Amino acid sequence: MPGRILIADDVATNRIILKVKLSAASYKVIQAKSGQQVLEYAEMETPNLCILDVTLPDIDGITLCQRLRANPATQKVPIILVSTQSDDMTRLAAFAAGADDFLVKPFDDLALMARVRNILRARVVGEELRLREATALELGFAEADAGFLRQGVIGLIAQTKTQAAEWCDALDGQPNSIVKILPKASVLNSGDGPKPDVFVISANLDHPAKA
């Protein structure tokens, strides 16, 4: 899926390697070496995706992500933040700033390309849906708003009961959502109630656990 990708890294070698990988997949790559350049290029080039290093010389990636989200001209551009830090605080700060994804260096080439394709595909589908809704409204075919939002359902498939309880505590207070703990054996049949809109699955389900 062709597209324009803006990449930012203060290390020239990193930019060149990433550009080669993305260019080989037919993406047009725009390079930036500072946060200020990202802000300028994001408005001038209207990229389809930004891949930004958390550590930049003038503006850190977290702050940069916040500024892009605050600008009406760039607020809908998908953003992947990359970092050598894999701690939970950095990851949570990235998503809180508005990042669509977070990758830890060094990242696997296949994983990077899969994330890029998925994000760009989701963006295209979202734009198509918005266009259809706008057209339906103009033609008078759209239904009136229901006046309420259906509660979203989050399905948890944890390795242990303890992990499931910790996840429930972390998700407690999420607006307009229901959290359901699902047994691994029956995850494909979540009962007669509302079906999950999103699943959170432990990566270690196949490993034995005591609790």
Q: Which residue range forms the structural domain that includes residue 159? A: 152-201
Whether 34 contacts 60, CB under 8 Å: no
Euclidean distance between the first and final Cα of the chain, in Å? 44
Q: Are 79 and 182 in a shared domain?
A: no
Q: What are the start-end ranges of the E strands in the chain?
A: 4-8, 28-32, 49-53, 79-83, 101-104, 152-157, 177-181, 198-201
CATH number of the domain enclosing 53: 3.40.50.2300
The count of domains in the chain is: 2
Q: Are 114 and 157 in a shared domain?
A: no
**Residue 17: alpha-carbon gap to chain centroid:** 23
Whether 48 contacts 123, CB under 8 Å: yes
Examine residue 55 and state whether it is found in any structural domain, yes or no: yes
- Give the relative orientation of helices 61-70 and 35-45 as an angle to the nearest 10 degrees: 30
**pLDDT tens sequence across 196-210:** 888 888 877 766 655
**pLDDT tens sequence across 144-176:** 555 556 678 888 888 888 888 888 877 776 667
Q: Are 83 and 165 in a shared domain?
A: no
pTM: 0.67
Candidates 109, 13, 130, 38; CA nearest to 5 is: 38
**pLDDT tens sequence across 76-86:** 999 999 998 88
- Give the relative orientation of helices 61-70 and 88-96 as an angle to the nearest 10 degrees: 20
Examine residue 141 and state whether it is found in any structural domain, yes or no: no
Average pLDDT of the segment spanning 58-75: 93
Kindly indicate the confidence band of residue 72, based on its pLDDT and cuts at 50, 70 and 90.
very high
Give one DSSP letter per residue of 25-69, joined into a string. Answer: TT-EEEEESSHHHHHHHHHHH--SEEEEES--SSS-HHHHHHHHH
Q: Are 194 and 104 in a shared domain?
A: no
Examine residue 65 and state whether it is found in any structural domain, yes or no: yes
Tokens 């389900």 sit at which residue? 205
Examine residue 167 and state whether it is found in any structural domain, yes or no: yes
Residue 178: both structure tokens together: 């229901």
- How far is the C-alpha of 4 from the C-alpha of 7, rounded, in Å? 10
Q: Are 95 and 39 in a shared domain?
A: yes
Higher pLDDT pick, 61 / 131: 61
**Given this model, what pLDDT does residue 99 score?**
92
